[in-house]
Amino acid sequence: MDKFTTLTGVAAPMPLVNIDTDMIIPKQFLKTIQRSGLGKNLFDEMRYTQDGQEIPEFVLNQPAYRKAEIIVAGDNFGCGSSREHAPWALLDFGIRCVISTSFADIFFNNCFKNGILPVVLPQEAIDVLMDDARKGANARITVDLESQTVTASDGTSFHFEVDAFKKHCLMNGLDDIGLTMEKASAIDSFEKKNATLRPWA
């Protein structure tokens, strides 16, 4: 998993509330267990017509936001079913941070496990960042995980809270496998000792 320290990038404004996981990645794309390749189907039913043509009005189809790395969203982002494909699709598209007033719990935790930082800020801060994001590609937002700040293009900064353990994992690029591998020497030591004490096991 890639480390997350500081991100400066284009933010796509998505003011809709209750953006659920079926909107993020529709159910017909859940057959794969591969984490890559889902970006092209991110927000599929919002991005494309039924015959596969891009919908120009959708924010990620607009030239200014095709390489967005941040989403500024409405309340209750990631609600609905618990599919981990949702953060997979966001990450594969290039989204590393989602900023909202609230997230669904399972989606929120899945983001941290997949290298995405979900930032919770009050509505007043979201309003400022949403307006900033609407300025397009020239207005870049900076998210600093170490200092726990989000800074708009005009320098206005907002502090956010984050669980210390989740912060440690993101800043060091540690998913569940990475956390286990940190204990590799202790595991090896146990296995050797156990083989001596219990050779029949």
CATH class of 6-173: alpha beta
Residue 138's pLDDT band (cuts 50, 70, 90): confident
CA atoms lying within 13 Å on the CB side of residue 61? 16
Per-residue pLDDT of 57-104, as tens digits, reads 999 999 999 999 999 999 999 999 889 999 999 999 999 999 999 999
Q: Look up tokens 């005009």; give the residue.
A: 154
Ordered alpha helix ranges (H), 59-182: 85-93, 105-113, 123-133, 164-171, 176-181
Domains of the chain, residue spans: 6-173
